[in-house]
Amino acid sequence: MLPAIPRSAHKLKSRIPYLKDLQLNFILIHYVYIISAILITSSIIYPGSDLKYIDALFFSAGAATQSGLNTVDFNLLHTYQQVILYWVTMLTTPIFIHTTVVFIRLYWFEKRFQHVVRDARALRSIRSRLRTTSENEHLHSHGQGGSGINGRL
């Protein structure tokens, strides 16, 4: 799933001229995540009652940014709207976002440096084989230790 995200972002970048100038970095991903959470949440809680869309948008922005601002009494909302706002508040907390970013960066670093791990393991096995070979040669040369140079005493 994660490798598909950069590919789709690259396709979108090539289609929209303004996006070519944007650099895909972690702060931009934070902004996109929070703004899309606000828009999706407002479109979910809007149709449930006599709530105006601007109030639903304000509720969603307040929940996504943990500001707690509201224009309508929270008790007047339906239960599903309150549950949605509660879940959005939990999914957009800085702790959740930063933990997710840490795991995504860990995944990317592991993918990027797989060749380093592979080379280190190969080098480790070569070193261990060379060490056993040199130890075997050292064991065979013990009988000639008192012979001196070229077998002379």
**pLDDT tens sequence across 3-38:** 677 777 777 777 777 767 777 787 888 888 999 999
- Cα–Cα distances in Å, from 123 out to 64, 67, 136? 49, 54, 20
User: What does the pLDDT average to over 69-94?
Assistant: 92
**Pick from 96, 15, 83, 6: which is nearest to 45 by CA?**
83
- Per-residue burial over 36-56, b if 16 or more Cβ lie within 10 Å, else e, is ebbeebbebbbeeeebeeebb
Q: Taken in order 147, 148, 149, 152, is the CA torsion positive or negative?
A: negative
Rounded Cα distance between 98 and 95, Å, is 5
**Pick from 102, 95, 104, 72: which is nearest to 85 by CA?**
72
Rounded Cα distance between 43 and 34, Å, is 14
User: What does the pLDDT average to over 111-137?
Assistant: 73
**Pick from 87, 85, 68, 69: which is nearest to 77 by CA?**
85
Band (pLDDT 50/70/90 cuts) for residue 95 is: very high
User: What does the pLDDT average to over 85-101?
Assistant: 92
Band (pLDDT 50/70/90 cuts) for residue 88 is: very high
User: What does the pLDDT average to over 45-61?
Assistant: 91
Q: Which residue has the tokens 């795991």?
A: 103
The pTM assigned to this predicted structure is: 0.62
- Say if residues 65 and 34 touch (Cβ distance below 8 Å): yes
